[in-house]
Chains A and B, each alone.
Chain A
Amino acid sequence: MKNQTSAGKKVLGFLGSNSVPIMFIIIVAICIPLSGFSPVFLINEIITRMGRNIFLILSLLIPIMAGMGLNFGMTLGAMAGEIALIFVSDWQIWGIPGVVLACIMSIPISVLLGWMCGKILNASKGREMVTSYIISYFTNGLYQLLVLYIMGAIIPIIHNSIKLPRGYGVRQTVGLLTMRQSLDNALAIRVAGVKIPVLTFLIIALMCLLIVWFRRTKLGQDMRAVGQDMEVARDAGINVERTRIISIIISTVLAGFGMIIYLQNMGDMATYSAHSQIGMFCIAALLVGGASVDRASIGNVFLGVVLFHLMFILAPKAGGVITGDEMIGEYFRVFVSYGVITVALVMYETKKRRAKAGMAAQLEAAQREEEQQ
């Protein structure tokens, strides 16, 4: 009898802590037959999107480890990646060398932006998330200043295909045809009509290994300590502020690489809007994979990408079948992205509060026990 209840509790606990992924599995399971997409098409799409997005999402893991929550400031890295790509495509460096050069060029920009972001976040401890979210807007302003007014005017831009006709500023879209899928097509293989971008996946696998390795380093251990209790870590002699800044810098640099991988897959770049939603979609995908504000694993990243992007592909079509209007599905998936972030934030905050309660019941029980003796 007792065994049964504890088993039941376990099942409930499992369902409770994984409610978000389970909900998405159900949504996806309902939508697949409704949409009428073929399995090959779906698998192809998912594989493409995994290659495109996973690296970006991996960049979120380290700040979570350092207790800084969901890094809405990963957009900064995305902007750094875009700036590097603009230069590289202006210099006409093609293919994989172009991608590699862009990655290298993005590093100093990312480090600078990440350092700034980390500094500001250290000044606003306890509300890192809302601050990093505003930082991304603020930096977007600086980015636009650079790209729209300084590039071409002060920083030379050679090609008219990139420069605006007025003589300065960068065009709405920058074509990356010369680099398009250069990573994805190298070593790509086809299995039963599904294209697998082996090189991209190898890079992702390497990154995962790096993250696993990083957790075992002294720095990784320090970050986990800082993430759980800043004061204790400080008392033990860990430089808390510096550790936090490093975690944000790493995240920003990785987001920069991620953005370059993402854009080489897309093949062109919306100069002024490519980065604006990327943070939100990455965070939503991570949360859909079962992560929370203070805990996320590589497994969450993979599960999240599959579920979230399946939903993304299916929603318009399924919405169209249900309501006769595909726009509904479009809006639905945006709503779901925001909704899942909202739910995750609410769950995190309520959990923080619930941890404090519960003492009173213990005390009352202790008193009653004493009386009975």
Chain B
Amino acid sequence: MSNQAPLLELKNIRKDFYGNQVLTDINLTVHEGEVVGLVGENGAGKSTLMKILFGMTEIRETGGYGGDVILEGRKVSFNSPFDALEAGIGMVHQEFSLIPGFTATENILLNREPQKKSVVSEVFGERLNTLDRREMKQRSEAAIEKMGVKIDGEMVIADMPVGHKQFTEIARELSKEQLKLLILDEPTAVLTEQEADALLASIRGMSARGIAVIFITHRLQEILNVCGKVVVMRDGVLVQDVPAAETNVTEITRWMVGRSVNQGAVSHREPPETRTIMAIRKLWVDMPGETVRNVNLDVREGEILGIGGLAGQGKLGIPNGVMGLYPAGGSVEFDGKNIPLNQPRQCLDSQLAFVSEDRRGVGLLLDESLEWNIAFPAMQIHDKFLKPLLGGLIKWRDDRAVGEVTRKYIDDLQIKCTSSRQKAKQLSGGNQQKVCLAKAFALEPKFLFVSEPTRGIDVGAKALVLEALKKFNRESGITIVMISSELEELRQVCDRIAIVSGGRIAGILPASQPSEEFGALMVSSVV
């Protein structure tokens, strides 16, 4: 089939977010009925590429993209997803886009319902057409038939198992007559094994009907099973484009995580052979999208332990569960004492501290000054920056001490701001991150969880943040557990790295091990 003109061609696609290059010269061709597997670490640029292809408005709002998208020989530029749908591109997103109280049929034909005219609608416009329920049923059954996986069209979405919701979404795309290319973004993540198999069979069916599929997943075996070719992305660059038959899981993993440059920057400090300061046993954490269970982990005193893994595998659940921000069970022992779960106060009292990955949601008081942001936890937990009045009866906020400590951290961490009274929301992402670090440092903890400390900040700030963490560890002997999606970053800073995959710890290796070893662990039991 490759001798025909390609269905879709991407030529030199480039995209930057405010000067931050996220896609560089992507070239990709997709033929009619071809199944393309697209793999890459989180942040490799897969979703940005798909957003461009699907005409998402956020691309236009952030300055558009460079290069050409050519569909069936014509150059196209979509202003909205509706244009893309019109042109025959369908996409199934990771998050469900379904109305919970509607049946599968109603969802499959949402806003495309077949209608019957009536006298009233002739007068008042076609929104008063009645729905043609019988026709709806037929159309949805036809789409379900096309998909090849049996789901009940009359069942209400809220009552469905999660896999069936996914199939409903796929059927919705298939019910569109003009569909030529279907993008599936990690569709198997929520499916059981049998359901995933059914989906793969269904993808083969679509391909036979001439529908091209771009299949994004972390489950590499699935790619090899169903795809015609594999495309690997890394750091915004398309690094490999090979027929699936000519490769294997190990090779793909190496392409995904492999770095040719900067090997020297990896930390070679021997992991310290000290006592275990924190012992986590049988921990489960209910953090939506990042659940983990059965976590057993020992953290040694004075080390920097990294926790890595792909997004959605559960690495973020561990610190959030231990620190009591999400419902958790199991046991955590710190410094010989048991730490009760689900009580943030108890953790902080035991001199644990946490820099959350959700800077704007959890990490900062956006509407308050830097002074408040930095001093608040220390004030509340350790009664710092307070002046006792009336013999200690009243604990008065000492605004001068608060200002002093804030200015100290502004200098130490080179936070760019107009004054210590500036509102946190007015800072850039990198400086906000430094404020979050300062907040944790001000608590003078013995043990620090840092979650995604470099997410969404520029290169200069990144280096500064990582350096500050290292310094904090080396000079004050603080144990640090750092959670990050970026493996190379972990390898630069950490002594040992634990990899979370499929909601469990897949293994722990010294940072000096080659990237491929970590890559293999990352995809070992992906869900």
- Selected interface stretch from A162-170, A193-201, A231-239: A231-239
Output the least CB separation between B183 and chain A (Å).
15
Q: Does A363 contact B (CB under 8 A)?
A: yes
Output the least CB separation between B136 and chain A (Å).
10
Q: Does B476 contact A (CB under 8 A)?
A: no
Q: Let me know if B115 and A235 touch, CB within 8 A.
A: no
Of all chain A residues, which has the CB nearest B329?
Answer: A364
Given contacts A218-B126, A221-B113, A228-B102, contact A367 B97 (CB under 8 A): no
Most B Cβ at <10 Å: residue of A213, A233, A360: A360
Task: Point out the residues of chain B lying under 8 angstroms from A213, CB to CB.
Answer: 130
Q: Let me know if A232 and B97 touch, CB within 8 A.
A: yes
Per-residue 0/1 for B283-313: is the Cβ within 8 Å of any A Cβ (1 yes, 0 no)? 0111010010110000000000000000000
Interface class of chain A by DSSP: helix
Closest 6 CB pairs of A and B: A360-B327, A219-B127, A360-B286, A236-B111, A367-B293, A236-B110
Q: Let me know if B282 and A367 touch, CB within 8 A.
A: yes
Q: Does A17 contact B (CB under 8 A)?
A: no
Q: How far is the CA of A364 from the CA of B321 in the complex (A)?
A: 13
User: What are 28 A-B interface contacts by the 8 Å CB criterion?
Assistant: A216-B131, A217-B127, A217-B131, A218-B113, A218-B126, A218-B130, A219-B128, A222-B111, A222-B127, A224-B99, A225-B102, A228-B99, A228-B101, A229-B98, A229-B99, A231-B97, A232-B98, A232-B110, A233-B110, A236-B97, A236-B111, A238-B111, A363-B284, A363-B293, A367-B284, A367-B293, A367-B329, A370-B293
Q: Does B153 contact A (CB under 8 A)?
A: no
Q: Let me know if B294 and A367 touch, CB within 8 A.
A: yes
Task: Point out the residues of chain B lying under 8 angstroms from A237, CB to CB.
Answer: 82, 111
Q: Does B346 contact A (CB under 8 A)?
A: no
Task: Point out the residues of chain A lying under 8 angstroms from B371, CB to CB.
Answer: none
Q: Does A366 contact B (CB under 8 A)?
A: yes
Q: How far is the CA of A358 from the CA of B149 in the complex (A)?
A: 30
Q: Let me know if A218 and B102 touch, CB within 8 A.
A: no
Q: Let me know if B294 and A371 touch, CB within 8 A.
A: yes
Q: Give the number of residues in B that approach A within 8 Å (Cβ atoms).
A: 30
Q: Does B507 contact A (CB under 8 A)?
A: no
Q: Let me know if B81 and A235 touch, CB within 8 A.
A: yes
Q: Does A192 contact B (CB under 8 A)?
A: no
Q: Does A11 contact B (CB under 8 A)?
A: no
Q: Tell which of B97, B99, B293, B327 touches A366, judged by Cβ atoms closer than 8 Å.
A: B293
Of all chain B residues, which has the CB nearest A364?
Answer: B329
19 additional A-B pairs beyond A217-B128, A225-B99, beta carbons within 8 Å, are: A216-B130, A216-B131, A217-B130, A218-B128, A218-B130, A218-B131, A221-B113, A225-B102, A228-B99, A233-B99, A236-B97, A236-B110, A237-B111, A238-B111, A359-B288, A359-B327, A360-B286, A363-B293, A371-B294
Q: Tell which of B110, B126, B293 touches A225, judged by Cβ atoms closer than 8 Å.
A: B110
Task: Point out the residues of chain A lying under 8 angstroms from B98, CB to CB.
Answer: 229, 232
Q: Let me know if B101 and A224 touch, CB within 8 A.
A: yes
Q: How far is the CA of A370 from the CA of B98 in the complex (A)?
A: 31
Q: Which of A333-373 contact B (CB under 8 A)?
A: 359-360, 363-364, 366-367, 370-371
Per-residue 0/1 for B104-115: is the Cβ within 8 Å of any A Cβ (1 yes, 0 no)? 001000110101
Task: Point out the residues of chain A lying under 8 angstroms from B100, CB to CB.
Answer: 228-229
Output the least CB separation between A127 and chain B (Å).
19
Most B Cβ at <10 Å: residue of A216, A217, A229, A370: A217
Q: Let me know if B286 and A363 touch, CB within 8 A.
A: yes
Task: Point out the residues of chain A lying under 8 angstroms from B288, CB to CB.
Answer: 359
Q: How far is the CA of A180 from the CA of B106 in the complex (A)?
A: 47
Of all chain A residues, which has the CB nearest B327?
Answer: A360
Q: How far is the CA of A216 from the CA of B99 in the complex (A)?
A: 17
